[in-house]
Amino acid sequence: MERDGSVGVALPMLPLVAVCWAVAAATGEKVLPPPSNLNYSFIQICTLNWTWNPPENISSSCDLEYSSDILIDEVSQHKNEWRKSLFRVTDTVLNKEMRFKVRSECKNGNATDRSRWVETSVAPKGIPGTAAVGLSCVWHNLEYMLCKWHPGENASSDTNYTLFYWFDGLERHKECKNYSVSQGRFECAFSLTFPQTANRYPPISILVRDDSEKIMPICAIENPTTLVKPATPRIVKLSYVNSGIHLQWSESGTIPANCLSYEVRYHNGDLTPAQTIQVKFNSTSIPSVDPNSKYTFQVRAQPKVECYSSKFYSEWSEEKSIGENPDSAFNFLLIITIPLIVMVSTIILLVYLKRLKILILPPIPDPREILKRMFGEQNEDPQSCAKEDCVNGYDRLIKEEEIHSLILIETPESSNPEKEHR
């Protein structure tokens, strides 16, 4: 009883290790010492190597193992591992606090001794809210990878992000060179190919950061097979065969033919809903079609799950049609006739409006000409006219009298012969 009391009084003043040993002594159990000298180092841009030393004074009969776990922002990632080696390689996130903890365990028959946890952490660098947001990458047709991201909400407008990548097989990480910014979104594309003899694609590490330490870096580890997006197919053949339609389209060229499947979308006319069929190869036939109808086709490709884990489809190909709509001739006639009718109607309307304008708004005579005629005739002096003009005027009067005389002579013949005889 005194021993227990003395232990209870001494507990607050003893170091944690001494407490563990005291408790173990009181309970009759042996506590294993923890690993020592826990540390980490960067192997590559987004890869950490955690190392530690074994506990001291361990019995040779102890089957020693180590248990380790990872916590990000105090949340366990449930990546607990047991191993006999004195290191563990893990991925890092860099924009969040990452803690790594390890403990030792000794197995002796059915009994198991465990040490306490020892841990260390990697603190994030840079100003919170400045890291790239929404980083996503797509491996286009096994030829190049395109990564996109938005700037952090606290990043300044002149922030220049830099993208680095690395995978097993490169001597050192490489920097992406082809940057562009569109509507506030950053993009960068880099060539990515693996040897054709490789049976598997290694994970690829992507780091986005800035040269300034104020910008928080961000890491992503991706399985490239989940990022594959095939090239857009191109319809190269579309023809009638017997009573159906046969179509054929181009293949990827870089993705093996047996690693792609296709979707064919087509519709009859312009208003009917589209139908979609699944195709395993780069050609197919549509049986029993209406030869008097127009059919429009599109094709897209998708990687097969046997080869890649990607869910990306290619873009739909350009539409290609065969046949004509029944109303196409009528529509063509309308296209020709309507402009012609409009043109003729416009010409007629312009002519009509011109005549109507003359009737409604006749030309206004010049007042100066009217006044000149009125006052000019009154001021003329007969005596002052030249002799030749007077003679000409006299001749005109004689000619007018003769004309009137002729008119009087050419009167209708009288119906009374007696008067005529007289």
- Is the full-model pTM beyond 0.75? no
Q: Are 314 and 229 in contact (CB under 8 A)?
A: yes
Please compute the mean of the pLDDT values over residues 284-310 and round it to a whole number: 91
Helix-, strand-, coil-residue percentages of the chain, each rounded to 5: 25, 35, 40
What pLDDT is attached to residue 137? 96
Q: Is the pLDDT of residue 224 over 90?
A: yes
pLDDT the model gives residue 331: 62
Mean pLDDT computed over 318-342: 75
Band of the pLDDT at 268, cuts 50, 70, 90? confident
Contacts of 397 (CB under 8 A, 6+ apart): none
8 A C-beta contact, residue 218 and residue 207: yes
- Residue range(s) occupied by CATH 2.60.40.10 in the chain: 32-122, 133-228, 230-322
Helix ranges, 229-365 (H): 328-360
Of the candidates 239, 301, 230, 306, which has an alpha carbon nearest to the alpha carbon of residue 264? 301
| Token digits of residue 66 | 């180590």
Q: Alpha-carbon distance 404 to 399, whole Å?
A: 9
Whether residue 297 has pLDDT greater than 80: yes
User: For 252, how many CA atoms within 13 A lie in the half-sphere containing its CB?
Assistant: 25
| Residue of higher predicted confidence among 277 and 22 | 277
Question: Is it the case that residue 417 has pLDDT exceeding 60?
Answer: no
- Tell me which CATH homologous superfamily contains domain 133-228: Immunoglobulins (2.60.40.10)
Helices (H) and strands (E) in the chain, counts: 6, 25
Least confident of 109-118, 148-157, 222-231: 109-118
Q: Tell me: the pLDDT tens digits for 101-151?
A: 999 988 776 667 888 999 999 999 899 999 999 999 999 999 999 999 999
The pLDDT of residue 326: 53
SS3 call for 53: strand
Q: Are strands 81-83 and 63-72 parallel, antiparallel or unpaired?
A: antiparallel
Strand pairing report for 63-72 and 98-108: antiparallel
CATH number of 230-322: 2.60.40.10
32-122 has CATH 2.60.40.10 classification: yes
- Let me know: does 233 contact 249? Beta carbons within 8 Å: yes
Nearest partner of 63 among 33, 106, 102, judged by Cα: 106
Q: Which pLDDT does position 4 carry in this prediction? A: 37
SS3 (DSSP) at 383: helix
Q: Torsions phi, psi of 240, nearest 5?
A: -85, 130
Q: Mean of the per-residue pLDDT values for the chain? A: 79
Beta bridge partner(s), residue 106 = 64, 113
* pLDDT band with cut points at 50, 70 and 90 for residue 209: very high
Backbone angles phi, psi at 390, to 5 degrees: -65, -40
